[in-house]
Structure 1
Amino acid sequence: MSDIKMDVVSPERVTQTAVQLAGLMIRTSNLAEQHTATQKIAPLWQRYFAERVQTHRDGQLMYGVYYDYQSDMDGEFSLLAGTTATEAQACDLTLIAGDYLKFSAQGEMPQCVINLWQQVWRYFASPKCEYQRCYLTDYEVYLDSHRVEIYIGIKPLT
């Protein structure tokens, strides 16, 4: 297994504009994802690679967008696996504009993104964390086959 390099000590705060996306969608929970019989995320990505990746334009990024949260990371949520919508595609989801914290990692997929999510959860569970998740939209951007960024929607500081 290759080394996984992460920048989680100090994630970068960024402001995201709205982005129209097209892709495949499922509804699941983190609890369901812990059991092979109820997992939906891995089969969604397998289906996406089988049906959609070959239609990507050069340089077009892949997104994994988490949205429609029932409550927080313990409730159900929806996931879109996709890319930016083109003129020929209908928009399936609009990425919500707003403030996000960006976490970055590189390494062997899918373990790299799994490890990065664990770092994200630890970051927000830390008593030193000054941000709160808003649970509206979070997303992954796959820069290439070994680099991923996770963007977590945050509430404004008060």
Structure 2
Amino acid sequence: MKSIERPKALLAGIQVRTINRNGQSLKDLGVLWKAFYEQQIQQQVPQRINDEIWVVYHDYASDHRDFYTAFIGCPVKDPSGLPENLLSLEVPAGAYLPRAVQGHMPQALLAEWELIWNNEPNLNRAYGHDVEIHTTVPAEDLACWIYLSVHRGKEQ
């Protein structure tokens, strides 16, 4: 699979620092998703471009086995003027490896991440900003895209 170039994106949302050990990331991400919906974060975002929900994994300490930050939010035209409870995040332009995910959620998404982690040596990951784009509200058979940040120039 070939990497593609994605443009810069500006987001507004909430985040948590977590780690993929002893089920901690699943617990933390569950709490983050719950907060996103209970606090109606999507509705609070001014200048929202569309109804997509982005999950961005970034600020990796080393790789997927170490600490990283998970951000859930929405694309915006301009992140200025956000409510105090929201953060902004810039996802840089760059090379990304696209992966389509469809099926029973969240199992299909978790299974795709397992495939990614098990195929780690072959993916040329950059551990920059890995992105999930959910185009509708999460549901049983939601389709989403994962875009893995990769080093430019290597075919996948």
After TM superposition, the score normalised by the length of structure 1 is 0.78
- Counting aligned pairs with the same residue, the percent is 25
Partner of 2:127: 135
Deviations 1:25-47 (A, max 9, x none): 10001115x159x8211100011
Q: 1:148 to 1:89 in 2, by over 3 A?
A: farther
In structure 1, the gaps of 5 or more residues are 1-9
Distance 1:86 1:43 in 2: 27
* Structure 2 CA distance for partners of 1:141 and 1:54, relative to 1, 3 Å: closer
Go from structure 1 to structure 2 and tell me whether the alpha carbon gap of 1:59 and 1:20 turns closer, same or farther (over 3 Å shift): closer
Q: Partners of 1:97 and 1:147 in 2: how far apart?
A: 23
Q: Do structure 1's residue 61 and structure 2's residue 57 form an aligned pair?
A: no
**Whole-angstrom distance in 2 between the partners of 1:86 and 1:136:** 22
After TM superposition, the score normalised by the length of structure 2 is 0.79
Alpha-carbon distance between aligned partners in 1 of 2:64 and 2:81, rounded to the nearest angstrom? 30
Distance 1:31 1:147, change over 3 A: same
Deviation of the 1:151 alpha carbon: 0.7
Q: Which residue of 2 aligns with 1:39?
A: 27
Aligned-residue offset at 1:124: 2.5
- Distance across 1 between alignment mates of 2:81 and 2:53: 15
CA distance in 2, matches of 1:149, 1:67: 16
Aligned pair count reads: 142
SS of the aligned residue for 2:126 comes to: strand
Structure 2 residue identity aligned to 1:139: V
Query: How do 1:110-121 and structure 2 match up within 5 A?
Result: 110-121=106-117
Structure 2, unpaired ranges of 5+: none
